[in-house]
Amino acid sequence: MISESVAVAPPQPRSPKAWYKQLWVQVLVAMAVGVILGHFYPTAGQLMQPLGDGFIKLIRMLIAPIVFCTVVLGIAKMGDMSKVGRVAIKALIYFEVMTTVALAIAMVIVNLWHPGAGMNVNTASLDAGSVKMYVDQTKSHGTVNFLLDIIPNAMVGAFAEGNVLQVLLISVILGSTLVAIGKRAKPVIDLLDIGSEMLFRAVAIVMYAAPIGAFGAIAFTVGRYGAGALASLGNLLACFYFVCFVFVFFVLGPMCKLFGFSLFQLIRYLREELLICLATTSSEAVLPRMLIKMENLGCKASVVGLVIPTGYSFNLDGTCLYLASVALFLAQATNTPLDIYQQLLLLGVLLLTSKGAAGVAGAAFVVLAATLSTVGSIPVTSVALILGIHRLLAEGMVPTNLLGNAVATIVISKWEGALDKPRLDAVLAERTPAPLPAGAH
């Protein structure tokens, strides 16, 4: 068996960067400029969309090979398939519990808040054509199809399409094979080590464009949706942001305290990633950096490599909050009565359909349409109501997804005995400057 080596060097003193050279400052400034442009010159703001889309595409092209190298190396260096299975089972149990809690919280708050009450929307007056594309996609959405889609038609196809779950399946199979081969697999592992470092250095280069991407994405959002969307559906937005706030600070917060670390310190540590998520409304844009930063916190690479990619499909807390909140809002807005049993049925369906959402904002809308189609009681065409503010709702959804997966990685690492607690405390408290792994600066 191949024993796991230390993936991250211990913290060493280094001189701090000047404040204006820090990525989170640059992203924050870029977002502020984007808001100003989008507000005062909305047409020009909308023209900035390619900058945000281009940045996300640059990151996405690196995600599949990074996940592959990370997972294969993690399993190969773990050297014990029973440990791999144990981590996977613990992760799935944790994911299911947290997403169930998220759905329940959203349903309770929306039932008390009633953001859609009094709207009296006639679904016949809605533009069904505007959501036809999303409704059509629901025909291929279902539990069986979702499970079958995890298996790629060809190994190369999984990488070409950038399907994280397919790449994860391939990685687990090949990583397990390297464990079975034993010492003779060392040259392949060394090659993957070099490839992994090369990819993370490539991420470091791409991240120089993060402020430009953040500027383009936020300028487009403000220019395209602006104050009009806030005025028309502001009650739903306020309700949903409150739901996210409650989940983050009254569910994730106590969870962090129970496992011995501070949520506020974690938020400060992940401030750059959270800002990028806010600007781009895509958690995929920071997936490679999350792998780096969670390992840097003291979580073993083998656990990080399994939990983070899996969590991007199975632990989308923010997406669950979105699905439950918006589904009940649409029922209220269209005067569709839902008794307690129908709401419990909706919760059960959401537990399944939410697992098919990827870590991108657009996928949640398709899953919402699929859920309404499956339940049948809420008109599917009613999703046209929130089409205009979906991206604004994603401003709360995506950062919640990110924090949920960060907390999950630390919790499962400690649960598995794969967490360097002194390092976690030192990095979060910023008592000792901790360098990122090679290529991540």
What's the pLDDT tens digit per position in 256-279? 999 999 999 999 999 999 999 888
Highest mean pLDDT: which range of 247-256, 297-306, 339-348: 247-256
For CA atoms 161, 162, 164, 170, give the dihedral sign. Answer: positive
Q: How many CA atoms lie within 13 A of 397 on its CB side?
A: 32
pLDDT number for residue 395? 87
Whether residue 182 has pLDDT greater than 50: yes
Count the neighbouring beta carbons within 10 Å of the beta carbon of residue 227. 11
Dist CA 128 CA 133 (whole Å): 10
Summarize the confidence of residues 26-38 as an average pLDDT. Answer: 90
Is this prediction's pTM over 0.85? no
Name the pLDDT band for 231 (thresholds 50, 70, 90).
low
Amino acid at 41: Y
Query: DSSP H helical segments within 354-389, as ranges?
Result: 361-375
Summarize the confidence of residues 66-76 as an average pLDDT. Answer: 85
Say if residue 425 is exposed, middle or buried (CB neighbours under 10 Å; 0-12, 13-18, 19+). middle
Whether residue 397 has pLDDT greater than 60: yes
Q: Are the beta carbons of 96 and 414 closer than 8 angstroms? A: no
136 is written with which tokens? 């059509």
Which residue reads 């398709």 in tokens? Answer: 366
Please list, residue by residue across 14-38, b when 16 or more beta carbons sit within 10 angstroms of its beta carbon and e when fewer do. eeeeeeeeebbbbbbebbeebbebb
Name the pLDDT band for 169 (thresholds 50, 70, 90).
confident
pLDDT number for residue 299? 92
Rounded to 10 deg, the angle between the 390-415 and 271-280 helix axes is 150
Backbone angles phi, psi at 154, to 5 degrees: -150, 150
75 is written with which tokens? 């399993």
Share of the chain above pLDDT 70, in %: 84
Highest mean pLDDT: which range of 219-223, 297-301, 369-373: 297-301
Which residue reads 């199975």 in tokens? Answer: 314
pLDDT number for residue 228? 62
pLDDT number for residue 94? 94
Summarize the confidence of residues 239-245 as an average pLDDT. Answer: 95
Summarize the confidence of residues 408-423 as an average pLDDT. Answer: 93
Sorted by where each starts, the structural domains of the chain and their CATH numbers stand as 21-429 (1.10.3860.10)
- Give the residue, 201 or 145, on which the prediction is more confident: 201
- Give the residue, 138 or 187, on which the prediction is more confident: 187
pLDDT number for residue 136? 54
pLDDT number for residue 407? 96
Whether residue 19 has pLDDT greater than 80: no
pLDDT number for residue 80? 67
pLDDT number for residue 77? 76
Dist CA 223 CA 333 (whole Å): 27
Q: Which of 11-25, 84-98, 306-320 has the lowest mean pLDDT?
A: 11-25
12 is written with which tokens? 């060493």
Q: Following CA atoms 238, 244, 246, 248 in sequence, which dihedral angle do they give, to the nearest 10 degrees?
A: -150
pLDDT number for residue 227? 63
Q: What is the mean pLDDT of the chain?
A: 82
239 is written with which tokens? 């309700």
pLDDT number for residue 238? 92
Name the pLDDT band for 242 (thresholds 50, 70, 90).
very high
Dist CA 346 CA 349 (whole Å): 5
Q: Are the beta carbons of 24 and 205 closer than 8 angstroms? A: no
Amino acid at 297: L
